[in-house]
Amino acid sequence: MNQVDYLRISLIDRCNFRCQYCMPEGVELDYILKQQLLTDEELLTLIQEVFIPVGFNRFRLTGGEPLLRPRVVDLVSAIASFPQTQDLSMTTNGFLLAPMAKNLYNAGLRRINISLDSLDPDIFDQIIGNQGRSRWQQVWQGIQAAHQVGFDPLKLNVVVIPGVNDHEILDLAALTIEKQWHVRFIEFMPIGNVHLFGDRGWVASADLRQQIRDRWGLTESQVRGFGPADVFKIPGAKGTLGFISQMSECFCDRCNRMRLSADGWLRPCLLNETGQIDLKTALRSGTSTAQLQEQVRHLLGIKPEINFKGRDSGILGTYTRTMSQIGG
């Protein structure tokens, strides 16, 4: 496996959207109480005194919706200021981004992923579970603001849902032609809920690539990211197309990440719940950061076995947390 040096940090489990694939309709969400969230001080202590010493140097801030976290700009500044931090990025739905983009950039955030599952406001609102005034335009303004501020790369995440937004693949891919934007198509992953979209299942990345290849042609890109995406580009395009194929292709051998939930659980694999460590409770009970380092090192050592042996349990079994509670 790749060296594990990338930590996805959920700052909050709450979100101002309720996307079907992340917070399934009808599922009661037990939000983490404020006192159960990692405080800013606890999070920074874990990063500086546990994760960095065992080899983590790339960090992505997620949620829920990370921009709902109070003082998020200050957190970005603090993490970016650690000399060992080689990369700091964020995944957001973009709804609150426009007025915050410049401050985040100035604080040290350089890469950002924005969820954009549709270019059609009505379909977009259907996917995000919005019943009121359309939110598409405000998200689009957030994307434009991030572009103007200078985030590079600026990535747009698209979860492809059969019968919902799969007819928009070419329109979404075309966004990469004139701008240095990077569109990433993600296979819908039925975490703990294989019946979420009935019997429609998911669309294989290979089928999406063929659609794009038939329209414009498609070549492998020289640009590679830090994650599991297979990267291509339309000939002559300024941006790239990424395909994250967690359902049709196993990429456990390329996994370089762990996930830290907003309430301090360290999770070695998205697709199963084996081996999690409750770092927050340990920290609050007086366990030294040196002892926590040893626990994390042990988990790093057994991560390959967890990844490969438990891969199917997440999509076939019952999850105790939704995707929003895990941090994606």
Binding-site annotation, residues for GTP: 8, 60, 91, 155, 257-259
Beta partners for 8? Answer: 60, 259
- In the annotated binding site for S-adenosyl-L-methionine, the residues are 21, 64, 115, 189
Which residues make up each annotated binding site?
8, 15, 19, 21-22, 60, 64, 91, 115, 155, 189, 252, 255, 257-259, 269
What 3-state DSSP class applies to 157?
Answer: strand
Phi/psi for 290 (5° steps) reads -65, -40
- List the structure tokens of 14: 């709450």
Report the C-alpha gap between 193 and 318 in whole angstroms.
8
The structure tokens 């032609």 sit at: 177
CA distance 64 to 87: 21
The three-class DSSP label of residue 78 is helix
Q: Which pair of tokens denotes residue 19?
A: 């996307």
Whether residue 247 contacts residue 189, with contact meaning beta carbons closer than 8 Å, is answered with yes
Annotated binding site for [4Fe-4S] cluster: 15, 19, 22, 252, 255, 269
Contact 246, 238 (CB under 8 A): no
| Contact yes or no for 264/281 (Cβ under 8 A) | yes
